[in-house]
Amino acid sequence: MKKVKLAILAILTISTFAIAGKNTSVVLDPVIEVPDLAKKHQSGLYLGIGISAVITYEDESSFFDPKVGQDRTGDVTLLAGYDFNPYVSVEGRYMTSFTHDERFERDLWGIYVKPQYPILDELKVYGLLGYGAYELNGKNNAIDIDENGFQWGAGVSYEVVDNISIFADYLKISNDVETNGFFTFPANISSEAVTVGMIYTF
Model pLDDT for residues 22-31, shown as the tens digit of each residue:
554 555 666 6
- Average of per-residue pLDDT across 180-199: 84
What does DSSP say about strands 164-179 and 187-201: parallel, antiparallel, or unpaired?
antiparallel
State the pLDDT confidence band at 36, using cuts at 50, 70 and 90.
Answer: low
Structure confidence at residue 38 (pLDDT): 45
- Rounded-to-integer distance, Cα 159 and Cα 201, Å: 10
Mean pLDDT of the chain: 81
Query: Per mean pLDDT, which of 28-37, 51-60, 128-137 is the most reliable?
Result: 128-137
Model pLDDT for residues 115-172, shown as the tens digit of each residue:
999 999 999 999 999 999 988 877 655 677 888 999 999 999 999 999 999 999 999 9
- Average of per-residue pLDDT across 66-88: 88
Model pLDDT for residues 83-94, shown as the tens digit of each residue:
999 999 999 999
Structure confidence at residue 188 (pLDDT): 82
- Average of per-residue pLDDT across 92-105: 82
φ and ψ at residue 2, rounded to 5 degrees: -65, -35
Domains belonging to the chain, first-starting first, are 45-201 (2.40.160.20)
- The pTM (predicted TM-score) of the whole model is 0.75
Quick count: other Cβ atoms within 10 Å of Cβ 144?
12
Q: Per-residue pLDDT for 8 more than 80?
A: no
Judge contact between 189 and 180, C-beta under 8 A. Answer: no
Secondary structure letter of residue 29 according to DSSP: P
- Average of per-residue pLDDT across 100-129: 90
